[in-house]
Amino acid sequence: MGKNAEPLTESYFYILLCLYDGPSHGYGIMQRALALSDGHVHIGSGTMYGATGNMMKKGWIEECPTPDADRRRLYRLTDTGRRVLLDEADRLRRLAAAADGIIGGEK
C-alpha cells in the first residue's frame, strides 16, 4: 500500500488476513474473522460481496477455481494484496506500539 493509501476498514483487513495462509470462501472468511476478532467482526453477505468485488477490482484478491459441485466462491490473495496486508499490519503495529508507549496496558 502506498504512503497515501487510506487505512483499511476492519472488514477489508480481516478478509485479507483470513486469506494470508491460503484460499478460502466467503463463509470460511466470515467464520474465521469472527473467531479472530473474538466475535467483534461479523462480515455480512452484502458487505462480503461488496468488499470482495472491490478488492478484486484493485487486484488484491482473485477468485480461484472450485470443484464443479461446490457453488461457494473461493478467493486467494494476490501478491499486491499480500503487500497491502503486510503494510497495514505494520501500520497497526506502529500505532499499537505508540499507544502502548504512552498509555501502557490501561483499558
Q: Side-chain half-sphere of 44: how many Cα atoms within 13 Å?
A: 2
Options 7, 22, 53, 59; binder of other proteins; rule CB under 8 A: 53
27 binds other proteins (CB under 8 A): yes
CA distances from 8 to 12, 86, 98 (A): 6, 12, 19
26 binds other proteins (CB under 8 A): yes
72 binds other proteins (CB under 8 A): yes
Options 10, 20, 22, 90; binder of other proteins; rule CB under 8 A: 10
25 binds other proteins (CB under 8 A): yes
Cell 477455481 belongs to residue: 65
- Name which of 28, 33, 27 is nearest 11 in CA terms: 33
The residues binding other proteins (CB under 8 A) are 9-11, 25-27, 30, 41-53, 63, 71-73
